[in-house]
Structure 1
Amino acid sequence: MPATTDPLPGYRRHPVGLALLGLAAAAGAVVLWHVDPRQAGSPLPPCPSEWLTGLFCPGCGTTRALHALLHLDIAGALAMNPLLVLSLPLVALLLANQLFALPAGGRSLARRIGDARPWAVVLISYAVLRNLPWEPFTWLAPG
């Protein structure tokens, strides 16, 4: 009989780590539910890239977008960081691939989505485009 390999090395063997990750995500969701990052005096920090350079990084607006999503404000989330909102289903597929045994088609798709090269192109392009000062690119800026 050929030896089978576990498609989830480490994940099934480390349920405590998985539980801690889930607990941290839940705690973050609770904080974002109760704390509005758009309010003056918010305890949540501003984007360090924007603070240092004045430019929007690909992640600018992520905290505000997640806050909006938790409150089911899809339009508000898209206004803050459209790339994040549009990529969440892909991230969910990648996470599901790591945590569960997906069918072969799902694993194949997750492997293609998980390739870092296209993501690097998308993130760099998004960072450049959201800092251009004319429409329609100004729509990519948070806010």
Structure 2
Amino acid sequence: MTAAGVAPRSTSRLRPLRTPLLVGAAGAAAAALLHVRDPNVSGSYGYCPFALLTGLDCPGCGGLRAAHALTDLDLAAAASSNVLAVALAAVLVVAWIAWIPRRLRDPRARMIVLSSRVGFTLLGIALVFTVVRNTPWGAWWGS
């Protein structure tokens, strides 16, 4: 702050980037944790309640293993653990990168805004993915 109580211009220009930078830092910290603490060790991050109760894989099962493989840049292993998690990770990275210039133009811009139609479509994809991955002919989608 200057003597007149006005914030320097550079500080006010970077203020809209605070949230995107914090989200990026949280994502980087999560990736670092997944890189150093291997989720392939049984129980290292707990167990999936859905899988424990039903014996079936939920849409997220294998997601931590997929993220761990992505931190090793092993796309094939990531896709074999959970192809849906790999697609989600790619969408989130692209959305985060696109968010930064939008935030500079509009300080209230959100990273992702989904319509109800898109939300229901994504839920439908997750449901189909769950059903298919729990059948013998869909086992290649990861577990």
Shared fold (TM-score, shorter chain, > 0.5): yes
For residue 53 of structure 1, report the CA deviation from its aligned partner: 2.0
* Paired residue total: 121
Assess if the C-alpha contact under 8 Å between 1:64 and 1:77 holds in 2: yes
Q: Which has the larger radius of gyration?
A: 2
| Among candidates 21, 29, 32, match of residue 30 of structure 1 | 32
1:47 aligns with 2:48: yes
Aligned-residue RMSD, C-alpha: 2.9
Q: Any stretches of 5+ residues in structure 1 without a counterpart?
A: 1-11, 103-109
User: Which deviates more, 26-35 or 82-91?
Assistant: 82-91
Counterpart Cα distance in 2 of 1:92 and 1:29: 12
Assess if the C-alpha contact under 8 Å between 1:68 and 1:77 holds in 2: yes
For residue 15 of structure 1, report the CA deviation from its aligned partner: 4.0
Q: Which TM-score applies when normalising by structure 2? A: 0.69
| Identical-residue share of aligned pairs (%) | 32
For residue 27 of structure 1, report the CA deviation from its aligned partner: 1.5
Which has more helix, going by share of residues?
Answer: 2
Q: Any stretches of 5+ residues in structure 2 without a counterpart?
A: 1-13, 104-111
Assess if the C-alpha contact under 8 Å between 2:83 and 2:142 holds in 1: no
Give, as a single letter, the amino acid of the residue that structure 2 aligns with 1:126.
F
Q: Which TM-score applies when normalising by structure 1? A: 0.69
